[in-house]
Amino acid sequence: MTKINTRQSNEDGLMAEFEAVIGLETHIQLNTVTKIFCSCKADSWEDPPNMNICPVCAGLPGVLPVLNEAAVSKGARLAAAMHAEIRLISYFDRKNYFYPDLPKGFQISQFDQALGDGGYLDVPMPEGYVRRVNITKLHLEEDAGKTKYDGGRRYVDFNRCGVPLVEMVTEPDLRSADEAAQYLIRLRQLLRWLGVSEADMEKGHLRCDANVSIRPVGSSHLNTKTEIKNVNSIEAVRAAVNMEIERQCVLVQAGDRVESWTLDWDDDRQRLNKMRFKETEADYRYFREPDLPPLLLTEAWRDAVIQDLPELPLERRARFMADFQLPEYDADILTADRPISEYFESTLTAYDGDPKVVSNWIMNEVLRMQNDLGLSADALTLTPEHLAEVIKLVDAGTVNAATGKGLLIKVQESGKTPEAIVAAEGLAQVSDDSALWAVIADLMDVHSEEVANYRDGKESLFGWFMGQVMRQTRGQADPVKTRALLEQALKGE
């Protein structure tokens, strides 16, 4: 591979003369149990090399593929969510190319009559606008294997051969590396929401190639593009695309020509390398796959897929802002994944109060608990009903906020109801004036020197006195009432 010159430009306004034109090709591993054309295990991320293969996915002579219905269902579900037409008749084709990890010498894919036709994803940007990203192709195909270089040798692992993929190709609708990153963030969110893919880029469940070109601002012409491969995280996509945009701007400004290269992203060195000249569709010599009949779907089956779609994340995000008056930040957090979104709505139903109060408890406490325990919201022992009960106890003054937060952990660990824990452990908030006066009076007797210092002007001691009262009452003193009574006592009123 040849290292690409990515020198920085010092000329003001160079980047402003051009706009980027970016399209993304994503390969999405569907989370089926078995591969697309055989019964081998599909997810083999942690398995030793070449353990999950058979004559079919290893491409031995004379074998016949059998289509996995689950792969079709998940692919169609994604197509429907992307507003694509689900074709009732689609075909599989052979994509011919030679590479060591492709044992058959061709890949079974879909070409001109794919499962999905058209579609789009509206991507809200942090700056406040929405970028509509149109879809050129959405088709099913099998994955190839993978190669690994070690000690000057290339090793081939066929475990991934035949794993079901959806390849989705966008129109060149993206205009910056940040837009490309936001598209991938929203696509990953959608895939997990639908339950069709784990979408973990580190494990190769979601892989992305970026096609990048530039043109003068205001032009509608599509210029020569380069393709960036081997980008394995959203931040790597952002970095690689930014670097390629800058490289092309410098090149064109210098009077040179952008060539149609396939580029390799070296994440360790944060640089691009030339791999080869980019192939065209003609190079793959597509023709119909003779061992698979046309994929025929009924209108009733297609309608059932569409009707089974859940409310999609961006639609729910908009509803949370409109119906519950939640800030955009809260709505984004609460719709980041489907379980936490449903946890919020279930808690709100049980609480029957201010949505913002529930949002705060979930974002500040429940999400922290999730992260600490490594659990999704639907796997917590702390149910939405439990959370609503804790919030009500705090609202009623039965327990203070600090005790309420501790209650969440106790419920999660024990499975008992919040009220049962409060009763058993005597956690009810101390709000009786006489009880609080007794604690404060005893504290002032023991710490008469600190009382004198406070009255002499060292008012910072007030916080220390508050802390002592809370300690004496095991955190159960009503903080508002305690503050008022303590102020009176220290002033000698």
What CATH number should be reported for the domain whose range is 433-490? 1.10.10.410
Confidence class of residue 447 from pLDDT cuts 50, 70 and 90?
confident
**For position 435, what pLDDT does the model report?**
65
Confidence class of residue 12 from pLDDT cuts 50, 70 and 90?
very low
Six-digit token pair at 129?
């606008």
Which helix (H) or strand (E) segment is 271 a member of?
strand 271-277
Q: List, for residues 285-312, the tens digit of each pLDDT value.
A: 999 999 999 999 999 999 999 999 999 9
Q: List, for residues 345-368, the tens digit of each pLDDT value.
A: 999 999 999 999 999 999 999 999
Amino acid at 257: R
Residue 13 scores a pLDDT above 60 = no
Report the C-alpha dihedral over residues 460, 465, 467, 473, rounded to 10 degrees. Answer: -170
Partners of residue 211 on adjacent β-strands: 23, 227
Residue 417 scores a pLDDT above 60 = yes
Residue 432 scores a pLDDT above 90 = no
Helix axes 418-425, 384-395, angle to 10 degrees: 50
Six-digit token pair at 424?
């058993």
Residue 9 scores a pLDDT above 70 = no
Picking from 149-158, 317-326, 331-340, 383-392, which range would have the lowest pLDDT averaged per residue?
Answer: 149-158
CB neighbour burial string for 342-356, b if at least 16 within 10 angstroms, e if fewer: bbbbbbbebbeeebe
**For position 431, what pLDDT does the model report?**
60
The CA distance from 409 to 46, in Å, is: 33
Residue reference for tokens 């989705």: 168
Six-digit token pair at 187?
């696509």
Mean predicted lDDT score pLDDT of the chain: 90
**For position 249, what pLDDT does the model report?**
94
Q: Which residues contact 347 (CB under 8 A, 6 or more apart)?
A: 358, 361, 362, 384, 385, 387, 388, 391
Q: List, for residues 251-290, the tens digit of each pLDDT value.
A: 999 899 999 889 999 888 889 988 877 666 778 899 999 9
Amino acid at 318: A
Domain ranges of the chain: 2-301, 313-425, 433-490
Residue 10 scores a pLDDT above 50 = no
**For position 30, what pLDDT does the model report?**
98
Instruction: Considering only residues 188 and 232, tell me which one the structure prediction assigns the higher pLDDT.
Output: 188
